[in-house]
Amino acid sequence: MALLALASWMAPAQWPLIQGLAGSWWWPATVGSLILVSVLGFRWMQRAKDASPMQFVAAVNGTTALKLFTALGWITSFLVTQEGLKKEFAFSTFAVFLFCTVAVAAFGMKISSKSENNETNG
């Protein structure tokens, strides 16, 4: 997750198309909040893994919903208050959301397979 955070935060400095985002506070705040929500989701899933399967599913879905609404909040705020780089910010934020979702899904599958309540262990 730390590697994902670093790569996402440094992306505007590496790609000319989104370099304009590197100079504003919007990008680090957006990436930081999405990573924070993902880490909180990891902790939630970790606690729910040995509870009922429905609690684990609720933790995974809840984490995804929290990330989605966090990303939508940042995108909406940026679109309303800023003049330039609207498409770049929106698509870049969505890309970070997708990367975080893949990381959360991979973590969820990993801990689910090790859980005591895994019904496929038979």
Q: What is the pLDDT of residues 56-76, one digit of tens each?
A: 889 989 999 999 999 999 999
**117 confidence band (pLDDT: 50, 70, 90):** low
Closest CA to 23 of 80, 94, 88, 75: 88
Residue 90 has pLDDT above 70, yes or no: yes
- Residues 6+ positions from 108 with CB-CB distance below 8 Å: 45, 56, 60
**107 confidence band (pLDDT: 50, 70, 90):** confident
Classified as helix, coil or strand, 7 is helix
- Residues 6+ positions from 90 with CB-CB distance below 8 Å: 75, 78, 79
* Average pLDDT of the residues in 26-45: 91
Domain range annotation of the chain: 53-115
Cα–Cα distance measured from residue 60 to residue 79, given in angstroms and rounded to the nearest whole number? 29
Q: What is the mean pLDDT of the chain?
A: 84
